[in-house]
A and B are shown apart, each in its own frame.
Chain A
Amino acid sequence: MTHVQHLKPFLRKTPFHGPMEALMHGNGWIRWMGYYAPAFFDSEQSEYFAVRTGASVYDVSPLIKYSIRGRDAARFMDYLVTRDMTKAKPMQVVYTAWCDDDGRMIEEGTVFRLAENDFILNAALHQLHWLEEAAYGFDVAIEEISEQVCGLSLQGPTSREILKLLGVAGIERLAHFSILETTIDGRWLRIDRAGYTGDLGYELWVKPEDAIWLWETLFRLGDPYKIAPIGSLALDMTRIEAGFILVDADYIGAMHAIRPTQRISPYEAGIGWAVNLKKEAYFTGKRALTREKSEGLSRHILTGIEIEGRKPAAGSFLYADKAGKQELGLTTSALWSPVMKKNIAFARLPPRYAAPGQQLWIEIWYPKEQKIERSMVRCWTRNRMFFDPPRKKQ
Chain B
Amino acid sequence: MSAVYDAAIIGAGHNGLVTAAYLAKAGLKVVVLEANGRPGGAAITREFAPGFRVSAVAHLLHALHPRIAGDLGLKRLGLHKELKATGTAALLPDGGRIEITRDDAATSASIGRVSPADGAAYAAAMARLVRLSGALGGYMLRTPPSPAMASNDLRTKIELGLFALSLRRLGRKDLLELTRILTMNVADLAGDLFESDAVKGLLAFEATLGAYLGPRSPSTVFNLLYRLSSFGPQGMGGFHLPAGGMGALGDMLAKAAGKAGAVIRLEAPVERILVEKDVAAGVVLVGGEEVRAGFVASSADPQATLLKLVAPGQLDVQFLKRIRHLRMNGCVAKIHLALDGLPDGWAEGARRLVFAPKIDHVERAFDCAKYGRVSDSPALEVVLPSLADPSLAPAGKHVASILFQYAPYKLRTTSPDDARRQVLERGLDTLEALAPGIKGRVLASEVLIPHDLESQFGLSGGQWHHGEVTLDQMFFLRPAGGFQRYRMPIPGLWLCGAGAHPGGNISGAAGANAAREILREARRRRDAR
Residues of A near any B CB (own CB < 8 A): 72, 75-76, 78-79, 100-101, 130, 133-134, 136-138, 281-282, 284-288
Given the interface contacts A133-B321, A136-B324, does A287 sit within 8 Å of B307 by beta carbon? no
> What's the least CB distance linking A79 to chain B, in Å?
4
Residues of A within 8 Å of B312, CB to CB, are: 72, 75, 79, 136-138
Q: Is B314 on the interface with A (CB-CB < 8 A)?
A: yes
Residues of A within 8 Å of B317, CB to CB, are: 100-101, 130, 133-134, 136, 284
Residues of B within 8 Å of A282, CB to CB, are: 275, 278, 313-315
> What's the least CB distance linking A305 to chain B, in Å?
34
Contact with A along B286-318 (1 / 0, CB 8 A): 000000000000000000000100011111111
Residues of A within 8 Å of B314, CB to CB, are: 282
> What's the least CB distance linking A84 to chain B, in Å?
14
The answer to whether A281 touches B313, judged by C-beta atoms less than 8 angstroms apart, is yes
What residue of chain B has the Cβ atom nearest to residue A281's Cβ?
B313
3 residue pairs, one from A and one from B, having the closest CB atoms = A137-B312, A101-B316, A79-B313
Residues of B within 8 Å of A284, CB to CB, are: 316-318
Residues of A within 8 Å of B324, CB to CB, are: 136
Residues of A within 8 Å of B346, CB to CB, are: none
The answer to whether B489 touches A137, judged by C-beta atoms less than 8 angstroms apart, is no
Given the interface contacts A282-B278, A286-B278, A287-B278, does A137 sit within 8 Å of B321 by beta carbon? no
Q: Is B320 on the interface with A (CB-CB < 8 A)?
A: yes
What residue of chain B has the Cβ atom nearest to residue A100's Cβ?
B318
A76 to B313, CA, bound (A): 7
Given the interface contacts A79-B313, A136-B324, does A101 sit within 8 Å of B278 by beta carbon? no
Q: Is B48 on the interface with A (CB-CB < 8 A)?
A: no
- The 8 Å CB contact of B316, one of A78, A137, A285, is A285
Q: Jot down 16 A-B pairs with beta carbons below 8 A, ordered by A.
A: A75-B312, A76-B313, A79-B312, A100-B318, A133-B318, A136-B312, A137-B307, A137-B311, A137-B312, A281-B313, A282-B315, A284-B317, A284-B318, A285-B316, A287-B278, A287-B316
Given the interface contacts A136-B324, A287-B278, A287-B489, does A75 sit within 8 Å of B313 by beta carbon? yes
What residue of chain B has the Cβ atom nearest to residue A138's Cβ?
B312
- The 8 Å CB contact of A137, one of B278, B313, B318, B319, is B313
Most A CB within 10 A of own CB, among B278, B311, B316, B489: B316
A286 to B313, CA, bound (A): 11
What residue of chain B has the Cβ atom nearest to residue A286's Cβ?
B278
A45 to B312, CA, bound (A): 50
> What's the least CB distance linking A104 to chain B, in Å?
11
A133 to B315, CA, bound (A): 12
Most B CB within 10 A of own CB, among A78, A282, A287: A282
Residues of A within 8 Å of B316, CB to CB, are: 100-101, 284-285, 287-288
Most A CB within 10 A of own CB, among B312, B314, B317: B317
Count chain B residues whose beta carbon lies closer than 8 angstroms to a beta carbon of A. Answer: 16
A137 to B321, CA, bound (A): 11
A134 to B251, CA, bound (A): 42
> What's the least CB distance linking A249 to chain B, in Å?
25
> What's the least CB distance linking B274 to chain A, in Å?
14
A103 to B319, CA, bound (A): 13
Residues of A within 8 Å of B307, CB to CB, are: 136-137
Residues of B within 8 Å of A281, CB to CB, are: 313
The answer to whether B278 touches A138, judged by C-beta atoms less than 8 angstroms apart, is no
Beyond the given pairs A101-B318, A282-B278, A288-B316, 5 more chain A to chain B contacts, judged by CB atoms under 8 angstroms and listed by A's residue number, are A133-B320, A137-B313, A281-B313, A287-B316, A287-B489
> What's the least CB distance linking A38 to chain B, in Å?
36
> What's the least CB distance linking B493 to chain A, in Å?
12
> What's the least CB distance linking B342 to chain A, in Å?
50
Most B CB within 10 A of own CB, among A79, A138, A285: A79
> What's the least CB distance linking B145 to chain A, in Å?
20
> What's the least CB distance linking A7 to chain B, in Å?
39
What residue of chain B has the Cβ atom nearest to residue A278's Cβ?
B277
A138 to B311, CA, bound (A): 10
What residue of chain A has the Cβ atom nearest to residue B275's Cβ?
A282
The answer to whether B318 touches A138, judged by C-beta atoms less than 8 angstroms apart, is no
Residues of A within 8 Å of B321, CB to CB, are: 133, 136
What residue of chain A has the Cβ atom nearest to residue B313's Cβ?
A79
Residues of B within 8 Å of A78, CB to CB, are: 313
A133 to B307, CA, bound (A): 13
Residues of B within 8 Å of A72, CB to CB, are: 312
What residue of chain B has the Cβ atom nearest to residue A283's Cβ?
B313
Interface residues of B in 370-412 (CB under 8 A from A): none
What residue of chain A has the Cβ atom nearest to residue B321's Cβ?
A133
A185 to B224, CA, bound (A): 76
> What's the least CB distance linking B494 to chain A, in Å?
16
Residues of B within 8 Å of A130, CB to CB, are: 317
Residues of A within 8 Å of B311, CB to CB, are: 137
Most A CB within 10 A of own CB, among B307, B312, B319: B312
Residues of B within 8 Å of A133, CB to CB, are: 317-318, 320-321
A76 to B316, CA, bound (A): 12
Residues of B within 8 Å of A134, CB to CB, are: 317
A288 to B278, CA, bound (A): 13
What residue of chain A has the Cβ atom nearest to residue B324's Cβ?
A136
A76 to B319, CA, bound (A): 17
Contact with A along B311-355 (1 / 0, CB 8 A): 111111111110010000000000000000000000000000000
The answer to whether B489 touches A136, judged by C-beta atoms less than 8 angstroms apart, is no
A70 to B176, CA, bound (A): 58
Contact with A along B269-284 (1 / 0, CB 8 A): 0000001001000000
What residue of chain A has the Cβ atom nearest to residue B489's Cβ?
A287
Residues of B within 8 Å of A286, CB to CB, are: 278
Residues of A within 8 Å of B313, CB to CB, are: 75-76, 78-79, 137-138, 281-282
A76 to B317, CA, bound (A): 12
A370 to B312, CA, bound (A): 62
> What's the least CB distance linking A307 to chain B, in Å?
39
> What's the least CB distance linking A86 to chain B, in Å?
13
What residue of chain A has the Cβ atom nearest to residue B315's Cβ?
A282
What residue of chain A has the Cβ atom nearest to residue B482's Cβ?
A101
What residue of chain B has the Cβ atom nearest to residue A101's Cβ?
B316
> What's the least CB distance linking A75 to chain B, in Å?
6
> What's the least CB distance linking B151 to chain A, in Å?
13
A282 to B320, CA, bound (A): 14
> What's the least CB distance linking A141 to chain B, in Å?
15
Residues of B within 8 Å of A287, CB to CB, are: 278, 316, 489
A133 to B320, CA, bound (A): 9
What residue of chain B has the Cβ atom nearest to residue A78's Cβ?
B313
A28 to B489, CA, bound (A): 50
Contact with A along B468-494 (1 / 0, CB 8 A): 000000000000000000000100000
> What's the least CB distance linking B80 to chain A, in Å?
46
What residue of chain A has the Cβ atom nearest to residue B318's Cβ?
A101
Residues of A within 8 Å of B315, CB to CB, are: 282
A163 to B318, CA, bound (A): 44
A133 to B318, CA, bound (A): 8
Residues of A within 8 Å of B489, CB to CB, are: 287
Residues of B within 8 Å of A288, CB to CB, are: 316
A207 to B372, CA, bound (A): 47
A337 to B320, CA, bound (A): 46
A137 to B320, CA, bound (A): 10
A76 to B307, CA, bound (A): 16
What residue of chain B has the Cβ atom nearest to residue A287's Cβ?
B489
> What's the least CB distance linking A63 to chain B, in Å?
23
> What's the least CB distance linking A102 to chain B, in Å?
8
The answer to whether B320 touches A136, judged by C-beta atoms less than 8 angstroms apart, is yes
Most A CB within 10 A of own CB, among B278, B313, B324: B313
